[in-house]
Structure 1
């Protein structure tokens, strides 16, 4: 069974690159995407998803707002923030709103792919 991923990313080039790379590496299904906080929250609520990949800075709102909205999502759903702004303070703020992991786009993509691979390998 593929990992169902919802992408919250306002940059179409990054969104397409993530989609292609994840699809090449793992059994995944991109179940939707959004470019802003409100759009993401509305779109994600009725969907079945296993993993949300959320950028921190969006066209409207922020990834922290998306994380807050799904803080009590419970396992097995995971929410990862993928950003270029991976400071120690931001990691703390993300943990406070229930983010499972934060990955720096510029230096931690391998770690992100490892984490997605772990999810994919644990699927029945």
Structure 2
């Protein structure tokens, strides 16, 4: 194997318009391409993160709920690196998003915190 980087992360949402608004307007990700796949009754929105990576936002009719425990098997959370965590938390709070208290990683001494997307997917902010 000769893996170079993470290409994208795919997220299935229960309310496409609500999640699209969250990821684009609130988190500030840049839309690259949006398509509607009629045969699957599904939207797919490619989002740019910092000019490098993509998040693919999907909608499907009646997707099943996923267990929402941080220690459940599977993807635990999605993490974004930020320059100033206090500034980013203040921005989230302006949009009435509940953000956990900022903590310090005992191994790196870096600040981090968590909040959730509209479907409860845990999202971490990790200060550079």
Whether the TM-score (by the shorter chain) exceeds 0.5 is: no
Bigger Rg, structure 1 or 2:
2
Give 1 or 2: higher strand fraction: 2
TM-score by length of 1: 0.32
The answer to which structure has the higher helix fraction is 1
Q: Compute the TM-score of the two structures, normalised by the length of structure 2.
A: 0.31
